[in-house]
Structure 1
Amino acid sequence: MRADVVVVGAGVVGAACAEALSAAGLRVTVLDRGGPASGTTSAGEGNVLVSDKEPGPELELAKASRHRWPELLAELREELGAELAEAEWEPKGGLVVATTEAGIAPLSAFAAAQRSAGVLAEEIGPAAAAELEPHLTSAVTAAVYYPEDAQLQPVLATTALLAAVRARGGTVHSGLSALGVSTDARGAVTGVRTSRGVLPCGAVLNACGPWAGEFAAAAGAPITILPRRGQVLVTAPLPESVRHKVYDADYVGAVGSGDADLRTSTVVESTRAGTVLIGSSRQRAGFDETVHVDVLAELARKAVALFPILADVGVMRAYGGFRPYAPDHLPVLGADPRLPGLWHATGHEGAGIGLAAATGRLVADLFLGRESFMDATPFRVGRPAVLGKVPA
């Protein structure tokens, strides 16, 4: 059957867009060359953060998404039942710390800027930080507590979103590769060319994450989206040892950096299963999937410096993934001005899980031409950073 929209990419961003579009009554088909949440989403830590974004459009999208996630999960529980809608939502809060005297002023200034944008950012001293995290290093010189930071299980969240799409009559295809689009005499999209034939549709949404640039080029409307590799360590399960998402103050700089070279910063958080996730690294190295032991060793060293208790804890596994990176560090959302019927939802880099809920709603608002909760202009597809020359 002809779909109103075919969503290419069954990660959390594609699933959130498909859910929002199907909730509006559209017939939606989702396809992925792997399976749901099998790409970038499966390599995510599940962060829903406002603490790491400076004032601007991405922070506004993050604030909206932080509000939307628990609301959306409650709606899915009502529609699907508690079991299908379980996503391990934990509004645990975040703690950002400095461990040098030089780090105090920048951390305080960043928190002040966020407060001016409506973020709850509570500056606390080392003693209060130790009360929140008893195993934290005594080297902390300053800290900011972010009560709005949260975490969920990204694969479960994606599965719940796609379950809602199916419940509303939509279709989800695994193991189906999108090869491009078909168009009519006017040049408008009429279908998606796949490895098993053409899926007719009224529009196609490119939600391919780090591979969005490849699909856009195959569709005849290239955009600049680059893969930015990251690696994560996972410890064996522990008794409660890390209560919040905790990271050092240089994490914000690593997130906002455009460097191709390796950047690492300390991020430590626990999961409901008791494991501790240790990150994070960022590097533009194409789609090289090699796991680098030296990077993992640096992550481990920095994590132990922040939480000395981790020194004797066994590492259960390590994994890596690719974040979809846009040169100006903003998501790419909306209609492509060059090809009628082609839409994009990508470029969230490492924030896709946190931004997904609001992204879905914003894309649905734009698609349906209805008034939205925020101005989508900063995320427009036609901006120079997205349509310009791909950096070397």
Structure 2
Amino acid sequence: MTNKTNAEVAIIGGGIIGSAIAYYAAKAGLDVIVVERGELACGTSSRCDGNILAIDKDPGFDSLMSRKSQDLVAHLAAELEHPFEYRAPGSILVCESEEEMEAAQQWVNRQKEIGLPFRMLDREDIRNESKFFADDLLGGLECATDSTVNPYLMTFSLFEGAKKLGARILQKTDVTAVRREGGQFHIDTSRGEITAKQVVNAAGVWAPRIGQMVGIDIPIHPRKGHLIVATRQENVGLRKVMEFGYLISKFGGKRKVDPETEQYGVALVFEPTESQNFLIGSSRQFVGFDTRVDLDVVRCMARRATRFYPKIGDFSLIRTYCGLRPWTEDHLPIVSRVEEVPGLIIAAGHEGDGISLAAITGKLVCELLTEQSVTSIPTEPLRLERFMARNR
């Protein structure tokens, strides 16, 4: 990069959200530059599972937004040159109690009312799903359209697609200041100055830091999560499985679990991978930007996993790692123009749904950048102003 570079759109953040925005914006003919302080996909996008889920989204706007994203990802899988391990096997939630089965039935009814392909599963369905399941599981529910990707490969595939369309990608480039003067943005970086007509803040858990540079408070906080990678000597399951209690944990409710499981926000997540291993999650903690592995949390997750899959207790552990989810208090991302700073768009705060919602976020931000009068999904629920109104 020369000491001064100009672009129509500067995207700050080289994760999966930034990659989707770069691809759709470049495809629309915009002159795009992406600034990433580390390597591409080196933050949250490299420390997560890879699911495009509607099953765990609140029925209504949330689940319909995810369903839209699923359709876009299916198109991307056919459209992009580099494959990213896309599969659409559906996913399931399993229930431990009659109380959870009743709640699951209500969840299914609400999702079916808005046209989503949900159905209840009985005890026999669960037995047929995997011989490794505990015998006392009562049933669960399924969403047939849920899909899975390799988040690394999808991020790189989108960036490669964007580059072919003319986008420029700057890695190992730290943004040190952003200011708006004379109708355009001046972005100071560790590799010189960038000027742009519009800026997209897609910096995930670090979005508030970029917001502070232009005097904007962005209410996003890091929420830590652990993952275990284990090797499967034989096939445990073919698709994503979560416990119904995951929904309660995700949305901050109270579950009937031991104090440690509650304290660490642990709930079963099982995901088979293309490489014939499987991922075990999950945990949820507010501990700032600390990404060190806590073995107490890992043990708690392993105990929870063996409650649902008793026979995987002797499988080999490969590694454990942590990521930071960009959390907002209403569990929806911020995908919004900033009225106080014309030309600035925020696209962050997806919590654990960044992979799920990357495609629809990229499409929506492109529509905002090109000032479309009709957008793919309503923008009102995602506006930054919803938090300001709440805090007045």
**C-alpha distance in 2 between matches for 1:208 and 1:318:** 24
User: 1:372 maps to which residue?
Assistant: 375
Query: Offset of 1:262 from its aligned partner?
Result: 2.8
1:61 alignment partner in structure 2: 65
Q: Is the 8 A contact 1:230 1:323 kept in 2?
A: yes
Residue 272 of structure 1 deviates from its aligned partner by 0.7
d(CA) in 2 for partners of 1:66, 1:169: 26
Partner of 2:22 in structure 1? 18
CA distance in 2: counterparts of 1:352 and 1:256, whole angstroms: 16
Q: Name the structure 2 match of 1:298.
A: 300
In the TM superposition, what is the alpha-carbon distance from 1:385 to its structure 2 partner? 5.4
Report how far residue 117 of structure 1 moved: 2.0
2: CA distance, partners of 1:270 / 1:73: 19
Contact 1:51 1:149 in 2 (8 A): yes
Q: Report SS of the residue matched to 2:384.
A: coil
Question: How has the CA–CA distance of structure 1 residues 388 and 338 changed in structure 2, closer, same or farther, with 3 Å as cutoff?
Answer: farther
Contact 1:191 1:202 in 2 (8 A): no
The separation in 1 between residues aligned to 2:253 and 2:217, in whole angstroms, is 20
Aligned to 1:226: 221
- 8 A contact 1:222–1:387 mirrored in 2: no
TM-score of the pair, normalised by structure 1: 0.93
Distance 1:261 1:304 in 2: 19
In 2, the alpha carbon distance for the partners of 1:200 and 1:338 equals 19
Q: Work out the percentage of aligned pairs sharing the same amino acid.
A: 30
SS in 1 for 2:381: helix
Deviation at 1:258, TM superposition (A): 8.2
Which of 187, 190, 193 in structure 2 is aligned with 1:192? 187
- Paired position in structure 2 for 1:269: 271
Residues 244/157 of structure 1: CA separation in 2 closer, same or farther (3 Å cut): same
State how far apart, in whole Å, the 2-side matches of 1:211 and 1:385 are. Answer: 20
The equivalences for 1:1-392 within 5 A come to 1-77=5-81, 85-185=82-182, 188-257=183-252, 262-370=264-372, 371-384=374-387, 388=391
After superposition, the Cα gap between the structure-2 partners of 1:172 and 1:327, relative to the gap in structure 1 and judged at 3 Å, is same
Aligned with 1:44: secondary structure? coil
Q: Offset of 1:309 from its aligned partner?
A: 2.1
Amino acid at match of 1:300: A
The structural deviation recorded for 1:47 is 0.9
Q: Secondary structure at the match of 2:199?
A: strand
Contact 1:55–1:113 under 8 Å retained in 2: yes
* Aligned-pair CA distance for 1:108: 1.2
Alpha-carbon separation, structure 2, partners of 1:72 and 1:381: 28
| Structure 2 residue ranges without an equivalent (≥5) | 255-261
Change (3 A) 1:231 1:94: same
Q: Is the 8 A contact 1:87 1:153 kept in 2?
A: yes
Q: Which moved more, 1:234-243 or 1:268-277?
A: 234-243
Contact 1:8 1:208 in 2 (8 A): yes
Q: 50-59 or 258-267: which moved more?
A: 258-267
**Distance of 2:368 and 2:140 partners within structure 1:** 39
CA distance in structure 2 between the aligned counterparts of 1:61 and 1:160, rounded to whole angstroms: 22
Quote the offset at 1:102 in angstroms.
2.5
CA offsets, 1:231-251, max 9 Å, x none?
000002433211111111111
2: CA distance, partners of 1:385 / 1:42: 31
The whole-number CA distance in structure 2 between the counterparts of 1:297 and 1:267 is: 14
Output the CA distance in 2 between the equivalents of 1:9 and 1:388: 28
Secondary structure, counterpart of 1:240 in structure 2: coil
What amino acid does structure 2 have at the position aligned with 1:59?
S
**5+ residue gaps in structure 1?**
78-84
8 Å CA contact retained: 2:325, 2:352: yes
Give 3-state SS (helix, strand or coil) of 1:312's partner: coil
Cα distance in 2 between the residues matched to 1:237 and 1:7:
39
Q: Distance between the aligned counterparts of 2:86 and 2:178, measured in 1? A: 37
Q: In structure 2, what is the Cα distance between the partners aligned to 1:303 and 1:64?
A: 31
Q: How many residues align?
A: 380
| Contact 2:91–2:146 under 8 Å retained in 1 | yes
In 2, are the aligned partners of 1:17 and 1:360 still within 8 Å (CA)? Answer: yes
